[in-house]
A and B are shown apart, each in its own frame.
Chain A
């Protein structure tokens, strides 16, 4: 029998933990196996009959749908909260599971033969010292001889109402009419495994998530009593607020952040089907990754972001909600790229709808709104160029290569080469044409890097004195004071505050030399100065 079920054989040691398993099927209120189980907002489950009746809720005016104005005081001592009656719904999955189990049990009872086990209920401390009329006498647990192996016997004892929720069970062998004691142990384990397999099959039948078709992972139950994987339900909520099964309006914060999982179902599946869940988790990792493992950078196609500078986003599109959630679960990083408005070819990528250079952002603050939208504050941590791209669940993913500045020595060589070369040229030019201004490029090249920065900073200071609106206190508060001593970073800061179009600023992302960036900034400044003249 055991060998017929190789996949189950060591999948779960649950048959060796009969008490634990049976407790998960017992109502914490009446101690019987669940009958019409209701899922409570606090995450636990009780029989419908074990819930106190609803009463009008006082001092609540929002939301004031009639069913929310009725409340039920949670009977579980660990909770005791007032739950909205509307949120205490029949747990559809758990109910089906219990029905299946009872059905299996009735089929199973017959062929178990004479396989007695003695079960002695060991009351928990709080149950045995309950203050009652027999105050001085500790209450005693029940004792039974039952058949069919430990698991079935324990379940049967719970059905008989003789096994309190918190009690433990002591098992001992009883001489069977047709088995030797040493045969008994083997026979009983076989019975336990057979019953366990039936439980596993029952669970497998009813715990498939109707969104992903897998066994529910971290099962989460809606107010209408329908259960899905938490991540499936969250993804559904990215798109709409209604239950995928019954279309009832769910009125839940789309993030489900504070919504407890279905604890019963979750523990039950953990115990019954640990291997399926482990496989599922492993599969999930690959599913959430693009098929091509090198496409590991999620790309947000939206706006220009710059290194070291903050970017503020309002995330409302379902696909980006999903992306942000995954980022928050991971390294908090994603790439920001701009739209390719002109449709120009992007290097090897061809005419993609986004530009090939972008900025890697790290999420600093992720503020989730009740309806699932979110505000994201992120900071640029580096630049990249996209080498390859693909799609994952509606958003773009890419393989990116870092874009970094050349080494400082190369930078210095470049400065030396440019400035000295153009200096010579300028000297000759001015000697020949004393009245003509130097050609713009020559003037630019001849300026030392520090002078370029000083020129830009002078402009910033002049503009601030002139109260330019784009340098208002508010803007400076957001982007910080200009990095006046850092020629490498100054252009990014400047581009953040300067009101010119993003395509022009985009050129900064492609630079690999500090000088190059400062020169770009200087051309912007000169254009502005010329316009003002």
Chain B
């Protein structure tokens, strides 16, 4: 399958002009498939953690959004057990003018600002709303346990 100029350019820019705390490297044998790492934002319960994710550009990208999933376990009201992420720009609010870089930045921002009112992981959201301090503590512990190299 031919790779569009857009994907080639995006990949180049991701390598040449990297975003601090984010990396996305395409597989050699499938240039639509990226290994992603996102550093937990400072002053969040994910600080110090390095979260692995996989990102895939579907065949009709950029008409449809990239598919992305966390591989590292993470305690977050908008990320479920399978690593799926509830984020509007990955769904109905996707626009072809967005790009891999902006999506990864949005996800990093989501780590810094969990939104238990729009949950994907209901139990986590519940815990978050009932006792935010305890939930944040759990998130920290999970970061310590799963996201430290």
Residue positions of A touching B, CB distance < 8 A = 210-214, 232, 235-236, 238-239, 242, 244-245, 247, 283, 286-287, 289-291, 318-319, 390-394
Contacts and interface: CB of A to CB of B under 8 A. Distances in A.
B5 interface: yes
Q: Which of B4, B6, B58, B63 has the most CB of A within 10 A?
A: B63
Contacts of B2: 286-287, 289-291
A212 B62 CA distance: 8
B122 interface: no
A211 B1 contact: no
User: Which are the 8 A-B pairs with shortest beta-carbon distances?
Assistant: A394-B60, A244-B97, A213-B6, A244-B95, A291-B2, A291-B1, A211-B96, A210-B97
A212 B63 contact: no
A217 B57 CA distance: 24
A393 B60 contact: yes
B9 interface: yes
15 contacts: A212-B4, A213-B5, A213-B9, A214-B6, A245-B95, A286-B2, A289-B2, A290-B1, A318-B60, A318-B63, A392-B59, A393-B59, A393-B63, A394-B58, A394-B60
B64 interface: yes
Interface residues of B, number: 16
Contact of A212 (B1, B6, B60): B6
A235 B58 CA distance: 15
Interface string B58-93: 111011100000000000000000000000000000
The dominant DSSP class at the B interface is loop
Q: Which of B6, B58, B97 gathers the greatest number of chain A CB atoms within 10 Å? A: B97
Interface of B: 1-2, 4-6, 9-10, 58-60, 62-64, 95-97
A235 B64 CA distance: 11
Contacts of B96: 210-211, 232, 236, 244
**Which residue, B5, B10, B58, B64, has most C-beta atoms of chain A within 10 A?**
B5
A236 B96 CA distance: 7
A393 B59 CA distance: 5
Nearest to A290: B1
A178 B2 CA distance: 56
Contact of A245 (B58, B63, B97): B97
A236 B63 CA distance: 6
Given A211-B96, A244-B97, A245-B97, A390 B1 contact: yes
